[in-house]
């Protein structure tokens, strides 16, 4: 009984609201947005390319040292973590309002621009909440904290998923109307005040860190120039194989990303050579967290990073097609809202609690393995749904199984990542891990629509299930040679 009561202590309960604040923007960037775009007449392959807005989550390591090491000159009374957190939440509201006033049918560029801004500040908020959670309690409490965080996160997904689609059904019909989606996104923006209130009334983690105030502006300008250079170069390099050869298009996109990373690195190197960028700060902010991780895990560090990069691949690649699949299968928006976004979220919360408790009771690695197995296996149910006739009972069965497995795997993985971080580099290392976790899956997911065009839904969902097999062997190997060092 004592192990159950731990979920209702003050620290775990406080994580619900912060989890809500973290989970609200995510579906408005991906799932709900995909329904909006499909209804606006945007092609399937273009809709899945919008998942690349998620690269903001994959690249957040680039700016995580800023929020980890430097105090804001404003909002000082809230403390280091909370001042950054409050600022990111304000900009999330701002981005949601801007998105609400766009029409993808008339100007897809501005919708993409504001969604990217939303993803950027949402990713920044995630950096801070992850650090806040890890710094607020020892490793022994990370299971309950992570489960409560995921519960709040999933409740927000209920609001942003089922809630937004229900609102769309109430405000309009199945026929596209931009005013419907404007109202939806404006209403969703008001729910972010839950996160703002949670930030204001939470306690700053009792952790003493030394902050050096010299050269902050130069460091910030250097990182901004590097990021802007990355985006600019990426935007001007056209993919000659897009919509032609899926494999060649994917390989070219990967090469384009590598070129952009090298270009950004050269920009930073030049600014260091001309003595504009503070070399010591850049080295300390980016290299020390990596070297610290390598020193702790030695030759097994690469294996751990490989596991992180592949663990959610089956889940994420399949997930970008889910709403599009439901619509093309013939289900209505109201049905998707009810069974996928409403009951599905409760199933995910249940899975999260089970995953958190199992990690607390049986150990992280065992839970990690079981979570990976059921998350990949559940994708086969979508292949079955794809070849079955339209049935609400079939839909409920598949969604329930998928969300319980996803919640279990998500909770186990968050706990595993939390155990890998050093308290000295909390935000930066966790941002690095979560960035690695998203990069390969998001890169592949951008071509999910093209894959479905090529092979159809049954084979696509089966393929995503098999993508999860290498993860199982990695977990077995790593659990023997490189257990988590708390």
User: What average pLDDT score do residues 294-298 get?
Assistant: 83
pLDDT category of residue 204 using cuts at 50, 70 and 90: confident
The alpha carbon of 427 is separated from its chain's Cα centroid by a whole number of angstroms, namely: 15
Q: Which of 45-59, 372-386, 448-462 has the highest mean pLDDT?
A: 372-386
The DSSP line for 8-60 is: GSHHHHHHHHHHHHHHHHHHHHTHHHHHHHHHTT--HHHHHHGGGGGHHHHTG
User: What average pLDDT score do residues 128-140 get?
Assistant: 75
CA–CA separation, 202 vs 62, rounded Å? 27
The dihedral of CA 83, 89, 90, 95: what is its sign? positive
Q: 182-218 b/e with 16+ CB inside 10 Å = b? A: bbbbebbbebbebbbebbeebeebeeeeeeeeebbee
CATH (one of 1.10.8.870, 1.20.1250.20, 1.10.1840.10, 3.30.70.20) for 13-214+278-481: 1.20.1250.20
CA–CA separation, 278 vs 395, rounded Å? 56
Return the domain boundaries, the chain.
Answer: 13-214+278-481, 215-277
Q: Is the pLDDT of residue 215 over 70?
A: no
Instruction: Write down the pTM of the prediction.
Output: 0.69
Q: Is the pLDDT of residue 64 over 90?
A: no
User: What average pLDDT score do residues 172-192 get?
Assistant: 86
Q: Is the pLDDT of residue 2 over 60?
A: no
* Residue pair 257/435 in contact by the 8 Å Cβ criterion: no
Question: What is the reported pLDDT for 486?
Answer: 45
State the average pLDDT for the chain.
80
CA–CA separation, 311 vs 17, rounded Å? 27
Q: 337-367 b/e with 16+ CB inside 10 Å = b? A: bbbbbbbbbbbbbbbbbbbbbbbbeeebbeb
Query: Crossing angle for the helix pair 457-466 and 364-377, nearest 10 degrees?
Result: 160
Question: What is the reported pLDDT for 106?
Answer: 86
* Residue pair 369/479 in contact by the 8 Å Cβ criterion: yes
Question: What is the reported pLDDT for 207?
Answer: 64
CA–CA separation, 339 vs 168, rounded Å? 16
Question: What is the reported pLDDT for 369?
Answer: 92
Nearest to 474 by CA among 302, 332, 352, 223: 302
pLDDT top residue among 282 and 401: 401
Question: What is the reported pLDDT for 233?
Answer: 79
Burial (Cβ within 10 Å: 0-12, 13-18, ≥19) of residue 22? buried
pLDDT category of residue 483 using cuts at 50, 70 and 90: low
Dihedral of the CA atoms 393, 394, 400, 401 (nearest 10)? 150
pLDDT category of residue 191 using cuts at 50, 70 and 90: very high
Nearest to 22 by CA among 123, 99, 112: 123
Question: What is the reported pLDDT for 148?
Answer: 79
pLDDT top residue among 434 and 96: 96
User: What average pLDDT score do residues 461-474 get?
Assistant: 89
Q: Is the pLDDT of residue 37 over 70?
A: yes
pLDDT top residue among 232 and 469: 469
Question: What is the reported pLDDT for 438?
Answer: 72
């Amino acid at each position: 009984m004592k192990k159950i009561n731990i979920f209702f202590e003050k620290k775990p309960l406080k994580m619900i609201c912060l989890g809500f604040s973290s989970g609200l923007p995510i579906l408005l960037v991906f799932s709900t947005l995909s329904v909006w775009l499909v209804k606006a007449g945007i092609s399937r392959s273009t809709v899945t390319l919008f998942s690349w807005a998620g690269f903001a989550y994959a690249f957040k390591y680039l700016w995580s040292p800023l929020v980890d090491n430097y105090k804001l000159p404003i909002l000082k009374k809230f403390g280091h973590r909370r001042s950054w957190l409050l600022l990111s939440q304000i900009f999330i509201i701002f981005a949601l309002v801007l998105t609400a006033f766009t029409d993808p049918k008339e100007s897809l560029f501005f919708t993409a621009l504001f969604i990217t801004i939303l993803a950027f500040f949402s990713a920044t908020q995630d950096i801070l909440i992850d650090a806040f959670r890890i710094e607020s309690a020892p490793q022994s409490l990370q299971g309950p904290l992570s489960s409560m965080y995921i519960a709040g996160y999933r409740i927000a997904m209920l609001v942003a998923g089922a809630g937004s689609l229900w609102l769309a059904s109430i405000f309009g019909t199945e026929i596209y109307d931009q005013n419907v989606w404007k109202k939806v996104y404006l209403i969703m923006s008001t729910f972010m005040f839950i996160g703002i209130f949670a930030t204001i009334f939470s306690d700053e983690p009792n952790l003493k860190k030394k902050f050096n105030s010299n050269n902050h502006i130069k460091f910030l300008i250097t990182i901004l120039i590097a990021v802007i250079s990355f985006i600019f170069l990426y935007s001007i390099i056209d993919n000659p194989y897009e919509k032609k050869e899926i494999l060649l298009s994917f390989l070219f996109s990967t090469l384009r990303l590598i070129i952009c990373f090298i270009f950004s690195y050269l920009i930073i190197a030049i600014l260091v050579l001309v003595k504009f960028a503070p070399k010591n700060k850049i080295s300390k902010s980016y290299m020390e967290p990596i070297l610290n991780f390598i020193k702790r895990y030695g030759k097994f560090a690469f294996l751990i990073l490989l596991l992180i990069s592949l663990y959610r691949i089956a889940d994420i690649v399949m997930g970008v097609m889910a709403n599009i699949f439901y619509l093309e299968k013939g289900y209505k928006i109201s049905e998707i809202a009810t069974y996928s976004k409403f009951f599905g979220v409760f199933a995910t919360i249940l899975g999260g609690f089970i995953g958190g408790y199992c990690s607390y009771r049986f150990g992280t690695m065992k839970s990690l393995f079981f979570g990976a197995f059921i998350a990949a296996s559940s994708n086969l149910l979508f292949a079955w749904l794809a070849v079955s006739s339209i049935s609400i009972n079939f839909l409920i069965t598949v969604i329930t199984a998928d969300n319980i497995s996803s919640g279990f795997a998500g909770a186990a993985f968050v706990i595993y990542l939390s155990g890998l971080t050093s308290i000295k580099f909390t935000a930066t290392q966790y941002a690095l891990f979560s960035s690695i976790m998203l990069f390969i899956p998001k890169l592949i997911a951008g071509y999910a629509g093209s894959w479905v065009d090529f092979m159809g839904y049954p084979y696509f969902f089966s393929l995503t299930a098999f993508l999860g097999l290498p993860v199982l062997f990695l977990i077995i190997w790593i659990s023997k040679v490189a257990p988590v060092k708390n």
